[in-house]
């Protein structure tokens, strides 16, 4: 039978990262490719006890159909944490769903959508379903550069998508002055800001910076996640939105999956109510900070001067820039099938660009690898890079 | 701040039923409005024991990011139950999400989508996100009537959406001859069939009929749900699709919510593995059959001859046709604010029509109301109807 698919379906493809993650499930590979949190941080005992309370308390309500907006006590907790009224909080099935809902209510075919360069691949995939025209904004090592944005870039845009804290893929954090300038630029241009903040709690160093939401509550739609501070398998995220568009988000969610599992929302709320979260976040921060430091030290010890990288103040990622003539996708093929030594995986940078990609970029995650394996993997990566550089120089 | 929303957002509105359900949360109302399964049927002990096994077994895997396709053992169980290979099964976040994914991969603006008249409101909402042109097919008390379909109706349609078993809202079941004729008509027209089957297991009488999937595996996309046989709060459904479009459904799901909660999938699978399901379904069937019989008896005892209804062989709904001159939305307003007696809620039929609505139609659910309350509610409904009919006759 022949199926006539939608135009958007014709443009879909499986994420290169997803395919890569299938390969790296093999534990003999040293994988810096994952965007997965470290499973040893999952608060299993706390969630188990929370589960028991849900079963003891009102399990039939937990397993019945429930309001699209989410479980009221969990919404209240989110609202209080961000200083917004509960009416502005919508619980989503992971924060990926928030991207889908935002696409649904904002994007018409060919609508301009402003993005960082590079930006989160999952956001590009979610928004692409609604066939926007992506406009990459000027960026540097501190994120978007408002003073380089022209009126032509922002004209008529439906929104700008920003990840100010420890961005995926670059790990960069947007400084306060930049945040203020971005808000002013977008306010003047009449463009709402989508602030995606899955990693904000994972800060290792530097002071906590105010969210865009806290400084511009009427013009920011803020997305948060329980995946990095509790566990991704719950699939719990949230959106905080101005009242004017909350109804539309709720209607879009109703059509998308009716509501997020009530059982999971109650388990998360019961876990949070037990008061474990702040101590737990401190534990995750310490673990990730240690592994980040190990990777930075290994890079400094092994990499040639022609390789550049950032020093993240939080989050899960380091962004690598390879020397001229080295293509990160080619390097990845080499590190996955080395002549000797361990196989090493990372993510080449290209999929993170809405526009022309920097083929010399690569994303490294340190969160699921022990310091010893980090040393071993970075040393092996440096050897593969030496080889690639030598080949390039012979050709040149 | 002004937000420019998508065209689809401009057309969204909150479901009338959803608003009604907020009112009927008041337990003093006798509500025939719900589409909710009876919570006393939820297998709480079985799910609790299943939860314990998930926590005892491999909880970190249950709470980590997981493959978009779903938890392999659960997919295998679904595949085996339907006689299809596991590769053709995708687990979804409730079967509502399957409607969204189908919309994403099939519908372009103004694509023709064929639907029953009336049809499931949630499907109309999900598909409307992608701005199709709905074409209502000729229907009678046994569902769609293939011999009345013209080539003009089916020309260029992306798919036909059908609920052959105990349809929501009408409760009707499509007989075997109709199923075969529908398959032949759609095969000849080159139109795939979406078979939505959340109620198929809830059959009280008559023989089990083969699914459209079983008779036309290459041209049917089959949707199923755990909401009616286990519990809606897990948010678990599935799609079985031909290999040719499975990849696209998976890519669309990846962009929509990455994957369905792994924890929930494992709880459901562990529960099913314990072997409770067939006995459990028999219990639900017996309960619903008893309440359905009570409602049919109450209707026969109380309603004037000018009111018509069907006698469902399964599912959750009875479809009422009111006498000439009585508008079901007006009647609902009257039964929600009666001069005396209990308040009674039901759903007026209009929201279930893609095209012009039959204003005299109404949906009654019997599954969450005891036989005594059913008697009381139907008697009260009949009194309100008498009053409305008298008013109409005085006016005429």
Q: Where in chain B is the domain with CATH 3.40.640.10?
A: 46-273
ipTM of the complex: 0.95
B-chain residue closest to A111, CA distance: B6
Give the residue carrying structure tokens 């008559």.
Answer: B206
Rounded to the nearest angstrom, the minimum Cα separation between B323 and chain A is 33
Query: Which residue in the set A66, A232, A258 is minimally distant from B65, CB to CB?
Result: A232
Instruction: Report CB contact under 8 Å: B254, A14.
Output: yes
Rounded to the nearest angstrom, the minimum Cα separation between A199 and chain B is 16
| Grouped pLDDT means (10 residues each) for chain B, 396 residues | 92 77 82 89 95 96 93 98 97 97 97 98 95 97 95 96 98 97 97 97 91 97 95 96 94 95 97 93 94 98 96 96 94 94 95 95 95 97 92 74
Query: Which residue in the set A6, A51, A258 is minimally distant from B108, CB to CB?
Result: A6
B-chain residue closest to A35, CA distance: B65
Q: Which of A222, A285, A110, A258 has the alpha carbon at shortest distance from B17? A: A258
Distance CA A14, CA B250 (A): 8
CATH number for the segment(s) A64-273: 3.40.640.10
| Contact between A69 and B22 (Cβ < 8 Å) | no
Q: Where in chain A is the domain with CATH 3.40.640.10?
A: 64-273
Query: Which tens digits make up the pLDDT trace of A218-240?
Result: 999 999 999 999 999 999 999 99
Overall CATH class of domain A7-42+278-395: alpha beta
pLDDT given at position A149: 96
> What mean pLDDT is predicted for residues A195-202?
96
Query: Which tens digits make up the pLDDT trace of B344-369?
Result: 999 999 999 999 999 999 999 999 99
What is the value of pTM for the model shown? 0.96
A-chain residue closest to B217, CA distance: A1
Instruction: Report CB contact under 8 Å: A263, B234.
Output: yes
Instruction: Report CB contact under 8 Å: A232, B192.
Output: no
Distance CA B253, CA A9 (A): 12
Task: Name the band, by pLDDT with cuts 50, 70 and 90, for residue A13.
Answer: confident
User: Residue A25: pLDDT above 80?
Assistant: no
pLDDT given at position B257: 95
Rounded to the nearest angstrom, the minimum Cα separation between B28 and chain A is 18
pLDDT given at position B396: 65
Instruction: Report CB contact under 8 Å: B130, A6.
Output: yes
Q: Where in chain A is the domain with CATH 3.90.1150.10?
A: 7-42+278-395
Instruction: Report CB contact under 8 Å: A3, B125.
Output: no
Long-range CB pairs of B381-384, under 8 A, 24+ apart, other chains included = B381/B302, B381/B335, B381/B344, B381/B346, B382/B302, B382/B303, B382/B304, B383/B341, B384/B331, B384/B334, B384/B335, B384/B338, B384/B344
pLDDT given at position B207: 87
User: Residue A396: pLDDT above 80?
Assistant: no
CA A335 to chain centre: 25
3-state secondary structure B335-390: HHCCCCCCCEECEECHHHCCCCCCCCEEEEECCCCCHHHHHHHHHHHHHHHHHHHH
pLDDT given at position B79: 98
In this structure, which CATH number among 3.40.640.10, 3.90.180.10, 3.40.50.1100, 3.40.720.10 belongs to the domain B46-273? 3.40.640.10
Rounded to the nearest angstrom, the minimum Cα separation between A396 and chain B is 40
Q: In this structure, what are the phi and psi dihedrals at residue A199, rounded to the nearest 5 degrees?
A: -110, 0
pLDDT given at position A23: 75
């Amino acid at each position: 039978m022949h199926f006539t698919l939608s135009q958007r379906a014709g443009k879909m493809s499986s994420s290169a990262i997803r395919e890569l993650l299938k390969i790296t499930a093999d534990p003999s590979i040293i994988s810096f490719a994952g965007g997965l949190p470290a499973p040893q941080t999952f608060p299993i005992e706390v969630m188990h006890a929370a589960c028991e309370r849900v079963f003891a308390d009102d399990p039939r309500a937990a397993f019945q159909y429930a309001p699209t907006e989410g479980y009221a006590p969990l919404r209240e907790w989110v609202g209080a944490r961000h200083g917004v009224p509960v009416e502005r909080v919508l619980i989503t099935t992971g924060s990926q769903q928030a991207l889908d809902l935002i696409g649904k209510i904002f994007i018409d075919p060919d609508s301009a959508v402003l993005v960082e360069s590079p930006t989160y691949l999952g956001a590009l995939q979610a928004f692409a379903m609604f066939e926007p025209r992506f406009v990459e904004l000027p960026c540097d090592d501190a994120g978007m550069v408002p003073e380089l944005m022209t009126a032509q870039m922002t004209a008529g845009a439906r929104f700008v998508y920003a990840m100010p804290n420890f961005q995926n893929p670059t790990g960069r954090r947007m400084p306060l002055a930049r945040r203020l300038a971005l808000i002013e630029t977008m306010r003047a241009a009449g463009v709402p800001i989508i602030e995606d903040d899955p990693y904000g709690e994972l800060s290792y160093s530097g002071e906590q910076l105010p969210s865009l939401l806290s400084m511009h509550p009427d013009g920011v739609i803020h997305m948060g996640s329980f995946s990095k501070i509790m566990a991704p398998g719950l699939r719990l995220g949230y959106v905080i939105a101005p009242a004017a568009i909350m109804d539309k988000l709720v209607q879009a969610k109703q059509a998308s999956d009716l509501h997020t599992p009530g059982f999971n929302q109650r388990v998360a709320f019961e876990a949070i109510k037990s008061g474990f979260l702040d101590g737990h976040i401190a534990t995750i921060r310490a673990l990730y900070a240690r592994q980040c430091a190990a990777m930075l030290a290994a890079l400094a010890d092994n990499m040639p001067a022609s390789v550049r990288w950032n020093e993240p103040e939080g989050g899960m990622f380091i962004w690598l820039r390879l020397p001229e003539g080295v293509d990160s996708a080619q390097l990845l093929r080499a590190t996955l099938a080395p002549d000797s030594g361990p196989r090493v995986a990372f993510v080449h940078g290209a999929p993170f660009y809405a526009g022309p990609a920097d083929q010399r970029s690569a994303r490294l995650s340190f969160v699921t690898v022990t310091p010893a394996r980090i040393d071993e993997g970075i040393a092996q990566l440096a050897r593969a890079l030496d080889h690639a550089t030598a080949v390039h120089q012979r050709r040149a």
